Amino acid sequence: MALSAVLPLLPENKIFNGWFYVASQSPEDEESKKFRKYMLEHWLKENKFIKFWCIFGERHRTTNLLEAWHKKINALVSKKKPNMTQLLNILYEDADVCE
């Protein structure tokens, strides 16, 4: 069932075929049956939902970029609860760097 972790890497139109392959390779024990049912009901049932978790062709496939930015902003903020003016100044300066 570990192969199901790579389903989001497939092109959107290949995900169902990928899932059927993964399901065909899985054991017939109760845990595997529960997992297959879960995948079908929660991730594959609504075809329109797949486009939200399919990351094929995406440049940034994780939240690492956002987490790095958040860490940078936290480092620039010198205390746990800056006042609004301090925070806005930090965000303004950061936005100016990006331009």
Any residues with CB less than 8 A from the CB of 62 and at least 6 apart, and which? none
> How many other C-beta atoms can be found within 10 angstroms of the C-beta atom of residue 7?
21
> How many other C-beta atoms can be found within 10 angstroms of the C-beta atom of residue 33?
13
Q: Which domain holds residue 29?
A: 2-53
49 with 20, same domain: the answer is: yes
> pLDDT tens digits, residue range 15-68?
999 999 999 999 999 999 999 999 999 888 877 788 888 888 877 766 777 888
48 with 75, same domain: the answer is: no
In a domain, 85, yes or no: yes
User: At 99, is the pLDDT very low, low, confident or very high (cuts 50, 70, 90)?
Assistant: low
6 with 49, same domain: the answer is: yes
Q: What is the pTM of this model?
A: 0.58
6 with 47, same domain: the answer is: yes
44 with 77, same domain: the answer is: no
End-to-end CA distance of the chain: 45
What integer pLDDT is reported at residue 97 of this predicted model? 67
Coil vs helix vs strand at 73: helix
Question: How many domains, in total, are found in the chain?
Answer: 2
